[in-house]
């Protein structure tokens, strides 16, 4: 069976250029050949398929919008979104690895790095020869990264970094980490920490029941001597990491749509094939209600996401618009995964179908890059002008 029918109820393909379609179809064919056959095994074993990293580089999944000068393919934002959609159609963990490398490692180096840092890291990150991770979250500071305690001191010829980050995607095998830490004045800066620096370790976190095909770890800094040239000079303050999150959340909005499409495609097929009471289950009104609502939500999300891509191409997308799309698309994907699983009855809980894996994965996606409720509060703040994140106790 063809795993990749493409729900396109409102002829969205007409809005795409030939280049967009080529990029999407290339990513889709590569994922189908190289990753789909092995994803269940990696999910069950909680391993990331390391051998696919160079392939991800070849399809442009690492820093799609990074200029060719720095080894990137210099594509537009819609191309970036389409690649993320195709990766997450397979597995959120696969998309996570590409999101982190692209938006959370290459993006800050490109936007805030020195020319030397860009030339040193970006070309290798683009091919997957080098892998990065992004350390913002700490054990006691998740939704509120401004409270971070990881810090660095100016020692004259180097910085001394101390602290710990938690829940860091790609950490266990990353060659470099873009780490956000406070200086002695409490100002947040980004530092590139390299594997092998004394006092730096990246223990893997085990026991995840979600995003199992993605490696997650801690970053521990015990008096790590970081060369001064590894500080990102271009921007400081919380706005620097938050702008990286804007780029990653944009990719997640597209990615979640891919997971939703995969669930819908399978549910539609199954409802035509499976018979009960001597008729296809797709002939029951209750099954049709589920399918009709799924395709309606997917179509609304496609329109939202495409428009957001246009705005981002024009440099006009606001952080609040990105939050709305991330929140909406992950929520509809989760609901669609649950409904698609129900349509499959008992078979839906097995690894023969991907809905259960998508559903479990999306529980991470609804939490990371800003939780569902934090994004709701961002919309609330945007429309009222009143932040509701903190209150006096
Ligand atoms: P607030 O006072 O609102 O803002 C501080 C400064 O930042 C500016 N700003 C932004 N800049 C760029 N982009 C954005 N999205 C921005 N949002 C705010 C703001 O203008 C201000 O600038 P300035 O110059 O005035 O200082 O900050 P706050 O502390 O009140 O926090 C607001 C809040 C809660 C929305 C923010 O902290 C937040 O988004 N929290 C959620 C944390 C989060 O998303 N963490 C994600 C960690 S990374 C991750 O999960 C990777 S998973 C990857 C994968 O595997 O795919
Ligand atoms: P908390 O912030 O403790 O939130 C707990 C609950 O309280 C949530 O329901 C939340 O919505 C709610 N809450 C918190 N504040 C408020 C408020 N003001 N009003 C109302 N409700 C509130 N981080 C990185 O830096 N890099 C990574 O690569 C990375 N990868 C991740 C991979 C995975 C698999 C996971 C699960 C997480 C990853 N994260 C990463 C961390 C992720 O961003 C955080 O888990 C997330 O920001 C939430 O933080 P927390 O888990 O500490 O939850």
The reported pLDDT for the residue numbered 4 is 59
Ligand 1 touching residue 319 (CB < 6 A): yes
**How much is the pLDDT for 1?**
40
What does each C-alpha distance from 190 to 111, 195, 230 come to in angstroms? 12, 16, 9
3-class DSSP state for residue 100? Answer: helix
Closest atom, ligand 2, to C-alpha of 143:
2
Q: Is 220 helix (H, G, I), strand (E, B) or coil?
A: strand
With a 6 Å cutoff on the Cβ, whether 135 touches ligand 2 is: yes
| pLDDT classification of 179: cutoffs 50, 70, 90 | very high
* Centre of ligand 2 from the C-alpha of residue 140, in Å: 10
The two beta strands, 151-154 and 158-169, are antiparallel
* For residues 243-254, average pLDDT: 98
For ligand 1, atom 46, which residue shows the shortest CA distance?
A: 369
Q: How many angstroms separate the alpha carbon of residue 129 from the centre of ligand 2?
A: 30
- CA torsion sign for 233, 236, 238, 239 is negative
CA distance 208 to 78: 32
Q: How far is CA 98 from the centre of its chain?
A: 7
Burial tier of 387 (Cβ tally within 10 Å: 0-12, 13-18, 19+): exposed
Q: What is the mean pLDDT of the chain?
A: 97
What's the average model confidence in pLDDT over 328-347? 98
The pairing of strands 275-276 and 279-280 is: antiparallel
Q: Can you tell me whether residue 170 is helix, strand or coil?
A: coil
Closest atom, ligand 1, to C-alpha of 92: 56
Nearest ligand to the CA atom of 171: 2
Q: 135 and 258 in contact (C-beta within 8 Å)?
A: no
Nearest ligand to the CA atom of 167: 2
| C-alpha distances out from residue 220 to 1, 27, 146, 166, Å | 46, 35, 19, 9
What is the tens place of the pLDDT at every residue in 340-351? Answer: 999 999 999 999
Q: Is 389's C-beta closer than 6 angstroms to any atom of ligand 2? A: yes
* Rounded Cα distance, 210 and 361, in Å: 5
**For residues 39 and 31, is the Cβ–Cβ distance under 8 A?**
no
pLDDT reading at 160 higher than 50: yes
What pLDDT is attached to residue 391?
Answer: 80
Ligand 1, residue 137: give the atom nearest the CA. Answer: 47
Residue 331 annotated among the catalytic residues of the structure: no
Ligand 2 atom with least separation from CA of 214: 34
Evaluate whether 85 touches 255 at the Cβ level (below 8 Å): yes
Residue-wise pLDDT for 49-107, tens only, equals: 999 999 999 999 999 999 999 999 999 999 999 999 999 999 999 999 999 999 999 99
Taking the CA atoms of 343, 29, 168 and 311 in sequence, report the sign of the dihedral they define. negative
User: Would you call 277 helix, strand, or coil by DSSP?
Assistant: coil
H or E element: which one contains 194? strand 188-194
Catalytic residue among 293, 297, 369, 392: 369
**28: Cβ–Cβ under 8 A, 6 or more apart, which residues?**
4, 86, 89
Looking at the whole model, is its pTM more than 0.90? yes
302-311 per-position pLDDT tens digit: 999 999 999 9
Q: Name the CA radius of gyration of the chain, rounded.
A: 21
DSSP state of 215: -
* Count of CB atoms situated within 10 Å of the CB of 187: 11
Q: Is the CB of 368 under 6 A from ligand 2?
A: yes
Helix axis angle for 239-273 and 285-313, nearest 10°, is 150
Between CA 95 and CA 260 the distance in angstroms is 14
Which residues are within 8 A (CB) of 96 and not within 5 positions of it... i.e. 6 or more apart?
169, 170, 211, 214
Residues 101, 138: contact at Cβ < 8 Å? no
Calculate how far, in angstroms, residue 245's C-alpha sits from the geometric centre of ligand 1: 7
Interval between CA 242 and ligand 1 midpoint (Å): 4
Answer yes or no: is pLDDT of 186 > 80. yes
Name the pLDDT band for 355 (thresholds 50, 70, 90).
Answer: very high
**What is the bridge-based pairing of β-strands 176-182 and 132-135?**
parallel
Q: Is 230 in the pocket of ligand 1 (CB under 6 A)?
A: no
What is the reported pLDDT for 393? 75
Q: Which ligand is nearest to the CA of 253?
A: 1
> Checking phi first, is residue 309 left (phi over 0); if not, alpha (psi -120 to 50) or beta?
alpha
């Amino acid at each position: 069976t063809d795993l990749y029918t493409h729900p396109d109820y409102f002829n969205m393909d007409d809005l795409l250029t030939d280049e967009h379609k080529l990029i999407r179809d290339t990513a889709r064919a590569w994922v189908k050949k190289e990753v789909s056959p092995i994803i269940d095994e990696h999910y069950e074993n909680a391993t990331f398929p390391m051998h696919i990293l160079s392939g991800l580089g070849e399809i442009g999944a690492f820093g799609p919008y990074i200029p060719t000068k720095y080894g990137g393919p210099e594509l537009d934002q819609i191309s970036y979104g389409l690649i993320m959609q195709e990766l997450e159609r397979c597995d959120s963990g696969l998309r996570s690895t590409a999101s982190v490398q692209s938006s959370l490692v290459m993006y800050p180096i490109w936007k805030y790095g020195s020319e030397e840092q860009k030339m040193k890291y970006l070309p290798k990150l683009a091919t997957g020869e080098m892998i990065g991770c992004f350390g913002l979250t700490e054990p006691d500071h998740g939704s509120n990264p401004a409270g971070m305690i990881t810090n660095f001191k100016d020692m004259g010829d180097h910085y001394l970094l101390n602290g710990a980050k938690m829940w860091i995607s790609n950490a266990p095998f990353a060659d470099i980490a873009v780490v956000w830490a406070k200086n002695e004045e409490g100002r947040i800066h980004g530092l590139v920490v390299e594997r092998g620096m004394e006092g730096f370790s990246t223990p893997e976190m085990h026991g995840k029941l979600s995003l199992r095909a993605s490696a997650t770890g801690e970053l521990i800094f015990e008096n790590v001597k970081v060369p001064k040239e590894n500080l990102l000079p271009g921007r400081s303050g919380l706005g620097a990491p938050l702008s990286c999150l804007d780029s990653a959340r944009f990719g997640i909005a597209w990615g979640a749509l891919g997971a939703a499409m995969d669930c819908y495609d399978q549910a539609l097929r199954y409802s035509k094939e499976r018979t009960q009471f001597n008729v296809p289950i797709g002939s029951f009104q209750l099954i049709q209600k589920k399918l009709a609502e799924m395709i309606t939500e997917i179509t609304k999300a496609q329109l939202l996401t495409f428009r957001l891509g246009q705005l981002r191409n024009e440099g006009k997308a606001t952080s609040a618009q990105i939050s709305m799309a991330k929140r909406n698309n992950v929520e509809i994907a989760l609901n669609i995964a649950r409904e698609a699983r129900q349509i499959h009855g008992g078979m839906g809980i097995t690894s023969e179908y991907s809905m259960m894996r998508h559903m479990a994965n999306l529980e991470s996606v609804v939490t990371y890059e800003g939780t569902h409720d934090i994004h709701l509060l961002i919309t609330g703040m945007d429309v009222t002008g009143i932040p509701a994140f903190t209150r006096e106790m």
